[in-house]
Amino acid sequence: MPTIQRDFAALAEMFELIMIEVRSWERDRPEQVAHLHDVLRRLNSVLAPLRHGAEPERARLGELSLDDLIQRENKIAEQLKSLAAYRRLRSVLGKSVFDTYRDILSQREPSFELLNSSTSVLKTEYNLDKYSDADLPVALANVLSIGGLSVTRLRRTAKAGDITTMHTMLKNANKKLREVFEPTWRQSNLTLRLEVSGSRVLVLVDELHEDGSRTAIEERSAGLRTYFSMATQLLAKRAKEDSSDSPQTILLIDEAESHLHYDAQADLVSILAKQQFAQQVLYTTHSPGCLPSDLGTGVRFVIPSADDPRSSELRNHFWGSTSVGFSPLLVAMGAGAAAFSSCRRAVLAEGATDMLLLPTLIRRALDADSLPYQVAPGLSSLGRSGLGLKELAAQVAYLVDGDQGGEALQKLLIERSVDPASIVALPKGSAVEDLIDPRFYVSAAETVIRETVGSEVKLEVNFDDDGMIVDKVKLACERLGLPIPGKVAVACSILNSSNRVELATEAKAVLADIHKKFCVVLDC
Query: What are the backbone angles phi and psi of residue 290, rounded to the nearest 5°?
Result: -100, 10
pLDDT at 67 > cutoff 50: no
Quick one: pLDDT at residue 376? 81
> What is the H or E stretch that residue 112 is in?
strand 111-116
Q: What percent of the chain has pLDDT over 70?
A: 66
Q: Are 230 and 214 in contact (CB under 8 A)?
A: no
pLDDT at 64 > cutoff 50: no
186 pLDDT band, cuts 50/70/90, is: low
Residue with the larger pLDDT of the pair 121 and 47: 121
Read off the pLDDT of residues 189-202 as tens digits, 9 standing for 90 and up: 788 999 999 889 99
Read off the pLDDT of residues 429-461 as tens digits, 9 standing for 90 and up: 999 999 999 999 999 999 999 988 888 889 999
First-to-last alpha carbon distance for the chain, in angstroms, is 19
Q: What percent of the chain has pLDDT over 90?
A: 24
Other Cβ atoms less than 10 A from the Cβ of 87: the count is 11
Ranges 75-79, 124-128, 184-188, 497-501, most confident? 124-128
pLDDT at 472 > cutoff 90: yes
Q: Could you tell me the residue ranges of all domains in the chain? A: 7-109, 116-251, 291-431+514-522, 437-502
Read off the pLDDT of residues 248-270 as tens digits, 9 standing for 90 and up: 778 888 888 877 777 777 777 87
pLDDT at 2 > cutoff 70: no
How far, in Å, CA of 375 to CA of 291, rounded? Answer: 12
pTM of the model: 0.61
pLDDT at 204 > cutoff 90: yes
Residue with the larger pLDDT of the pair 397 and 341: 397
pLDDT at 371 > cutoff 50: yes
Query: What are the backbone angles phi and psi of residue 291, rounded to the nearest 5°?
Result: -70, 140
Write down the mean pLDDT value for the chain. 75
Read off the pLDDT of residues 303-343 as tens digits, 9 standing for 90 and up: 788 788 788 877 766 554 444 455 556 655 655 444 444 45
- Which CATH architecture group holds 291-431+514-522? 3-Layer(aba) Sandwich (3.40)
Range with the lowest mean pLDDT among 120-129, 175-184, 325-334? 325-334
Quick one: pLDDT at residue 116? 64
Average pLDDT over residues 78-83: 40
Residue with the larger pLDDT of the pair 314 and 401: 401
Q: Which residues contact 176 (CB under 8 A, 6 or more apart)?
A: 146, 147, 148
How far, in Å, CA of 349 to CA of 424, rounded? Answer: 10
How far, in Å, CA of 333 to CA of 17, rounded? Answer: 41
Region of residue 501 (left: phi > 0; alpha: psi -120 to 50; beta: else): beta
Q: Are 292 and 369 in contact (CB under 8 A)?
A: no
pLDDT at 12 > cutoff 90: no
Task: Return the SS3 of 121.
Answer: coil
How far, in Å, CA of 378 to CA of 366, rounded? Answer: 25
180 pLDDT band, cuts 50/70/90, is: confident
Task: Return the SS3 of 250.
Answer: strand
